[in-house]
Amino acid sequence: MDQQRTRLLQRKGRGAASNESGRYQAHQRKAFDDGWGSIDDNLPPLDTQISIDSSRTIIARNSSPDIPFDRSINPYRGCEHGCVYCFARPTHAWLGLSPGQDFESKLLMKPNAALLLRQELAKPGYRPRVIALGTNTDPYQPIERSYGITRQILEVLQECRHPVGIVTKSSLIARDADILGPMAKQRLARAYISVTTLDRDLARRMEPRAPTPAKRLQAMEALARAGVPVGVMFAPIVPGLNDQEMEDVLQAASDAGATTGSYVLLRLPLEIKDLFREWLEAHYPDKAGRVMTLVRDCRGGRDYDSEWGKRLKGTGPFADMVARRFTMACRRYSLDKRSWEIDTNRFIKPAADTDQFALL
């Protein structure tokens, strides 16, 4: 798709410029100009549609050797933030939907999440370890303001004294400081806030419906005041686009109360590589070639390398330079606290509620 067509297909307030079929669908669809000029018309805003996810379990398990948790909860599927680079986009193909605009406009919520969590925590064989919130899609995306599912989950975890770690790029997390603060005093809570750039224009293009960088820094301050250990995620690093901001982002986060930092190099698995290329050509055509050359230099000459131990940080000279800069900056800005103490020994099982469980 050429640059002009990509711009025309871009919907206001959305990250992806296209909505091609997911890889599991029997029929593939792709936008093209049929000569009648309809593709040249200004497209209306794309409304968000919300459906119910009827999953019967809520805790997802993983055995990935390069992530520091083995269980997670995602209250929502799809994410309205619309980050064009989001590594979770391909999961929408499992639902028969597009990882493109469908991912950010056709969302699923899990209204029974808190009840399902109670049920799983009450099982006789359950053993507590940190539950991660926000590992796939953001638990504080805009629809959380209306549905409050993440807050309901936190209320159950607080009641059961169960440890939790949160990753988000939303300032809405500050709303729950009244829960996270007391949990943190018992060494039961920690949070990371993702800040990709301090440039409002770049942030709005990459993450169109996420709060501004300034709002996220304010959320860090609020959590830190509440006693919640908070870190910054400079993620993803897009070579040739935002990597030059690394030191500025880390300094701003440190000033806001963060005590640790982490980063992830841009990942382009499956459909994301095409979505990201479209986005680059539409928004930064003069930088697109250099960005993709640097990306491939960090991925063994390919757009992506999924090998354990390499997929998050990349390899090669540029990736090595990023790692050195990050280590030095974290040391300079006192962001080198590598871990926080989390207590798994306070856990108490929830009281059985057969009437509630019967509803499931």
- Each residue's pLDDT tens digit, 249-294: 999 999 999 999 999 999 999 999 999 999 999 999 999 999 999 9
Helix, strand or coil for residue 171?
helix
Strand 71-73, strand 60-61: pairing = antiparallel
Round to whole Å and give the CA distance between 59 and 226.
27
State how many domains the chain has.
1
DSSP-derived secondary structure letter, 260: E
pLDDT at residue 30, as a whole number: 63
Query: If you write DSSP's letter for every residue of 38-50 in order, what string do you get?
Result: GGGSPPPP---EE
Mean pLDDT confidence for 168-176? 98
What are the tokens at 143?
A: 């629809």
pLDDT at residue 63, as a whole number: 82
Torsion (CA) 81, 172, 76, 46 in degrees, nearest 10: -30
Residue 356 domain-assigned (yes or no): no
Mean pLDDT confidence for 12-35? 71
DSSP-derived secondary structure letter, 336: B
Mean pLDDT confidence for 41-51? 81
Question: Could you tell me how far CA 185 lies from the centroid of its own chain?
Answer: 26
Higher pLDDT, 112 or 2: 112
Residue 231 domain-assigned (yes or no): yes
Higher pLDDT, 182 or 341: 182
Is the separation of the CB atoms in 218 and 257 below 8 Å?
Answer: no
Whether the model clears a pTM of 0.85, i.e. scores above it, the answer is: yes
Residue 269 domain-assigned (yes or no): yes
Residue 7 domain-assigned (yes or no): yes
Task: Kindly state the percentage of the chain with pLDDT values over 90.
Answer: 78
pLDDT at residue 44, as a whole number: 72
Residue 354 domain-assigned (yes or no): no
Does 345 have pLDDT greater than 60?
yes
The residue with tokens 């990349």 is: 314
Residue 117 domain-assigned (yes or no): yes
Q: What angle do CA 233, 237, 243 make, to 5 degrees?
A: 110
pLDDT at residue 139, as a whole number: 98
Residue 358 domain-assigned (yes or no): no
- E strand or H helix that includes residue 118: helix 113-121
pLDDT at residue 353, as a whole number: 58
Mean pLDDT confidence for 130-159? 96
Cis peptide before 208 (omega within 30 of 0): no
pLDDT at residue 296, as a whole number: 97
Does 127 have pLDDT greater than 70?
yes
Does 357 have pLDDT greater than 50?
no
pLDDT at residue 25, as a whole number: 66
Round to whole Å and give the CA distance between 293 and 341.
40
Local confidence band at 34 (pLDDT 50, 70, 90 cut-offs): low
Exposed e or buried b per residue across 253-264, where buried means at least 16 C-beta atoms within 10 angstroms of its C-beta: bbebbbbbbbbb
Q: Which structural domain, as residue segments, surrounds residue 220?
A: 3-24+45-338
Domain containing 110 — which CATH number?
A: 3.80.30.30
Residue 349 domain-assigned (yes or no): no
